[in-house]
Chains A and B, each alone.
Chain A
């Protein structure tokens, strides 16, 4: 398959968009796309090891090239000047020699190149070689150059690249101005160019176009063989239950009679006034029995477990909300219940730990790693591997191997379905903006899912920026993460350049996770949902605001959505409508509030 190089990268967002390409080019020659070695080194850090890092030079000193190779580090060097063969031989990595092709004489010259690859371009105006114009491809068709050494550049874009590949079958295509808007790189154009050339490569690789369990190229079932049987059984059982009217009726009965649904969509008059923008509505998941949206999912899965003949439940919990919801439903339905919870979270969420114990669950403290949600999931998975024959893993967010992300989304979609009906009822039209916080992503996907097809509705997911996305202490996976596999799914992760998963940090235990559900990654990838990040401090400020203006003390997680809503509202007019998903109430966070907000006047 033809490889893709995105050239002239200068900003992190564009580098991340280019991470699905095969090569990234950094221009060190005088050009408006020029970067320093330090900048290139910083940008290269954002790229997976599988992406070639290519430095572009025009008649530079050898020392300068060698220093860049060492310090970025570069895996290839691309030369656009009059460099000699001796110069090329002195470079310790693979070399691409570029040629401007006007006529057959130029083609003869490039045929003599000793470089590993030759790059052909139209004559240059920007810096030597990079004109952004196409050249006459037919000149090359008669050439003896091996297509496996050929890189084609010059005025390529999503519209013409197919033709270039069709007529020349090159090793790689190189694009720069073709993925720019008004002279600046454009992340959407970069992604769409890569897709045009490579198709959905992950889907091709896994042959899953027709198989469920993937959202675009994200998702799948990446679990040890011991779990495959259970995962497949669950997949089949859920597919059946989903279509079974009795099962659905049972589930909805519990939602109504036990959880207390439907929950109101409250018009927030004082918040609306204070922000001076759109009409603000709050979806009140805080009013659910046990205090958060988590119970919508816990009930659905517990009923499914019973249907499958399993009466033992294992679950992980971060904030303890999912643990409490699971313990509650296990008490109600007489199921055995083991909850794994990180030691750090146990400390932060003591009230919830006590609630789980009171409800009869066994709470296992996890001291490994960061002793938070990620490590609790690891232990729950190990427990499940060992007890898989009689135990259901009741995962708490839209994470994990298929069918979990789909199933959890479906059980949480009651949030979005109610909201849709309620807003149509109250306002006679769909909202303009909806916000929800994103940990693993279950309340957000449940809220968003029924609106995904409504193009006019802007959907915003809000992650935890912790102490700031430019510090090492945050949990902003969609904003800062890279693609990888954890806990059964191909998704986005906070990880280092060697594929070791990093610890996430957020004041909010429920958002403190270094991955994010595969469907969110897909929705971001196709540009349907925007994801923003809110710091600990901003979230705390919003806790006060919502408490004082509306008499609703939100969970720390939900406060992230409120904080971002305030920013979105600033750009909206009074005729517009904004909805915030208040995923939970703040009781569980009272110790944190007391500590952080001490001295509150």
Chain B
């Protein structure tokens, strides 16, 4: 995860790609990761399907349902990742809801993540005050628990969360769920500025980022972007090449 800081120090922007593990079959995952690596993304977030993904919009929920129908589980995804022998140069981040982790056992989850080569974990329904349930085990195995902040995060809370942040901060760009969106408001820009001015680690904007206009609007106020639904949809439609301009808009047009 140190790479992320180096990137920021160089003034480069990060692109984190989210994919749903097992959408189209778990045997697809490896190829998807290898492909994304060639496009120059900074890190890859691997989503674990869950029966009740309340933070997600229809695109990711449906991808999750397809993966569940294929029999994909947390255990299988981690085992698949553990088996990879290709040259992986970028960090892998697991994004999962809390219940599968509890069922699996938080300590065992941390150990299996380590064996699978996972660098960081995002759990959207594990709020800051309950992180003791999982965080100590991740810490023991050297894995980062990524903190989320949102437009509704109050000031005091923002400070507490940022003080605990490691790796990067996930700044949610919408008051709502994940999904492809048209507009980004002025308010978001202000929010990113505030978070960035206070954060000890890079700040990445996510939820709803799906167009180059979004990136242009927020580029100067964040250290990177997280793109989910647009990528999940492109993989599902077999049109993943269409996403490359979005990736390049982030990673290649660096300010001089």
Co-assembled chains A and B = yes
Query: Which A positions have Cβ atoms within 8 angstroms of B?
Result: 48-51, 202, 205-207, 220-230, 232, 368-369, 374, 378, 381-382, 385-386, 388-389, 482-488, 493, 495, 497-502
Given known pairs A485-B102, A495-B99, A499-B101, the reply for A225 and B52 (CB within 8 Å) is no
Give the contacting residue for A500; candidates B50, B107, B150; CB below 8 A. B50
Contact B175 A493 (CB under 8 A): no
Contact A205 B132 (CB under 8 A): yes
| Interface residue? B125 (CB, 8 A) | yes
Give the contacting residue for B75; candidates A220, A228, A378, A498; CB below 8 A. A498
Give the contacting residue for B100; candidates A221, A224, A498; CB below 8 A. A498
Contact B152 A228 (CB under 8 A): yes
| Interface residue? B32 (CB, 8 A) | no
Contact A50 B106 (CB under 8 A): yes
How far apart sit A57 and B207, CA to CA, in the bound complex (Å)? 53
> Nearest Cβ distance between residue B160 and chain A, in whole angstroms?
11
Bits for B48-71, please: 1 = Cβ < 8 Å to A, else 0.
001110110100010000001000
Give the contacting residue for B149; candidates A225, A385, A497; CB below 8 A. A225
Bits for B121-143, please: 1 = Cβ < 8 Å to A, else 0.
00011111110110000000000
Given known pairs A50-B105, A220-B130, A498-B73, the reply for A229 and B153 (CB within 8 Å) is yes
> Nearest Cβ distance between residue A171 and chain B, in whole angstroms?
14
Contact A225 B150 (CB under 8 A): yes
How far apart sit A374 and B99, CA to CA, in the bound complex (Å)? 15
| Interface residue? B84 (CB, 8 A) | no
In the complex, which residue of chain A has the Cβ closest to the Cβ of B98? Answer: A485
Contact A224 B151 (CB under 8 A): no
| Interface residue? B185 (CB, 8 A) | no
> Nearest Cβ distance between residue A297 and chain B, in whole angstroms?
22
Contact B99 A386 (CB under 8 A): no
Contact A50 B104 (CB under 8 A): yes
| Interface residue? B28 (CB, 8 A) | no
CB neighbours (8 Å) of A486 from chain B are 52, 99
> Nearest Cβ distance between residue A99 and chain B, in whole angstroms?
27
CB neighbours (8 Å) of A382 from chain B are 54, 57, 176-177
Contact A226 B104 (CB under 8 A): no
Contact A223 B175 (CB under 8 A): no
CB neighbours (8 Å) of A501 from chain B are 51-52, 99
CB neighbours (8 Å) of A495 from chain B are 99, 103
Contact B54 A228 (CB under 8 A): no
Contact A206 B74 (CB under 8 A): no
CB neighbours (8 Å) of A49 from chain B are 75, 103-105, 108
| Interface residue? B148 (CB, 8 A) | yes
How far apart sit A498 and B96, CA to CA, in the bound complex (Å)? 12
How far apart sit A50 and B109, CA to CA, in the bound complex (Å)? 9
CB neighbours (8 Å) of A386 from chain B are 175-177
CB neighbours (8 Å) of A368 from chain B are 61
Contact A50 B51 (CB under 8 A): no
Given known pairs A386-B175, A498-B74, A501-B52, the reply for A230 and B130 (CB within 8 Å) is no
How far apart sit A271 and B108, CA to CA, in the bound complex (Å)? 54
Given known pairs A48-B105, A49-B108, A224-B55, the reply for A499 and B129 (CB within 8 Å) is no
How far apart sit A226 and B99, CA to CA, in the bound complex (Å)? 19
CB neighbours (8 Å) of B126 from chain A are 222
Given contacts A226-B152, A378-B52, 20 further A-B contacts (CB under 8 A): A49-B75, A49-B105, A206-B129, A221-B127, A221-B129, A222-B125, A224-B150, A225-B127, A225-B128, A226-B150, A226-B172, A228-B157, A385-B176, A483-B102, A484-B103, A487-B52, A498-B73, A499-B101, A500-B100, A501-B52
Given known pairs A49-B105, A389-B175, the reply for A222 and B54 (CB within 8 Å) is no
| B interface residues, how many (CB within 8 angstroms) | 43
CB neighbours (8 Å) of A500 from chain B are 50-51, 68, 73, 100
A-B contact pairs, 24 of them (CB 8 A): A50-B102, A50-B103, A50-B106, A50-B108, A206-B130, A221-B127, A221-B129, A222-B127, A223-B125, A224-B150, A226-B151, A228-B127, A228-B153, A229-B153, A374-B52, A385-B54, A482-B103, A485-B98, A487-B54, A488-B125, A495-B99, A499-B74, A499-B104, A500-B51
In the complex, which residue of chain B has the Cβ closest to the Cβ of A230? Answer: B152
Contact A225 B51 (CB under 8 A): no
| Interface residue? B154 (CB, 8 A) | yes
In the complex, which residue of chain A has the Cβ closest to the Cβ of B207? Answer: A226
How far apart sit A484 and B52, CA to CA, in the bound complex (Å)? 13
Contact B172 A225 (CB under 8 A): yes
Closest 7 CB pairs of A and B: A50-B105, A499-B103, A499-B100, A386-B176, A498-B73, A229-B152, A500-B51
How far apart sit A48 and B75, CA to CA, in the bound complex (Å)? 13
> Nearest Cβ distance between residue A188 and chain B, in whole angstroms?
24
CB neighbours (8 Å) of A206 from chain B are 129-130, 132-133
CB neighbours (8 Å) of B157 from chain A are 228-229
Contact A369 B130 (CB under 8 A): no
Question: Which of A220, A226, A483: most chain B CB closer than 10 A?
Answer: A226
Given known pairs A48-B105, A49-B75, A495-B103, the reply for A226 and B125 (CB within 8 Å) is no
In the complex, which residue of chain B has the Cβ closest to the Cβ of A482? Answer: B103
Give the contacting residue for A385; candidates B55, B74, B108; CB below 8 A. B55
CB neighbours (8 Å) of A227 from chain B are 152
Contact B99 A388 (CB under 8 A): no
Bits for B24-54, please: 1 = Cβ < 8 Å to A, else 0.
0000000000000000000000000011101
CB neighbours (8 Å) of B172 from chain A are 225-226
Question: Which of A49, A205, A220, A374: most chain B CB closer than 10 A?
Answer: A49
> Nearest Cβ distance between residue A402 and chain B, in whole angstroms?
11
How far apart sit A528 and B155, CA to CA, in the bound complex (Å)? 42
How far apart sit A473 and B185, CA to CA, in the bound complex (Å)? 47
CB neighbours (8 Å) of A488 from chain B are 125
Bits for B149-169, please: 1 = Cβ < 8 Å to A, else 0.
111111001000000000000
CB neighbours (8 Å) of A228 from chain B are 127-128, 152-153, 157
In the complex, which residue of chain B has the Cβ closest to the Cβ of A375? Answer: B52
Contact A205 B133 (CB under 8 A): yes
CB neighbours (8 Å) of B108 from chain A are 49-50
Given known pairs A225-B149, A374-B52, A385-B54, the reply for A498 and B103 (CB within 8 Å) is yes
How far apart sit A305 and B88, CA to CA, in the bound complex (Å)? 52
> Nearest Cβ distance between residue A432 and chain B, in whole angstroms?
38
How far apart sit A363 and B69, CA to CA, in the bound complex (Å)? 29
How far apart sit A495 and B128, CA to CA, in the bound complex (Å)? 25
In the complex, which residue of chain B has the Cβ closest to the Cβ of A233? Answer: B154
CB neighbours (8 Å) of B177 from chain A are 382, 385-386
How far apart sit A221 and B225, CA to CA, in the bound complex (Å)? 28
In the complex, which residue of chain A has the Cβ closest to the Cβ of B72? Answer: A498
In the complex, which residue of chain B has the Cβ closest to the Cβ of A503? Answer: B51
Give the contacting residue for A485; candidates B99, B107, B149, B150; CB below 8 A. B99
> Nearest Cβ distance between residue A458 and chain B, in whole angstroms?
32
CB neighbours (8 Å) of B99 from chain A are 484-486, 493, 495, 499, 501
Q: Could you tell me which residues of chain B, from 171 to 196, have a CB within 8 Å of some CB in chain A? A: 172, 175-177
CB neighbours (8 Å) of B61 from chain A are 368
> Nearest Cβ distance between residue B111 and chain A, in whole angstroms?
11
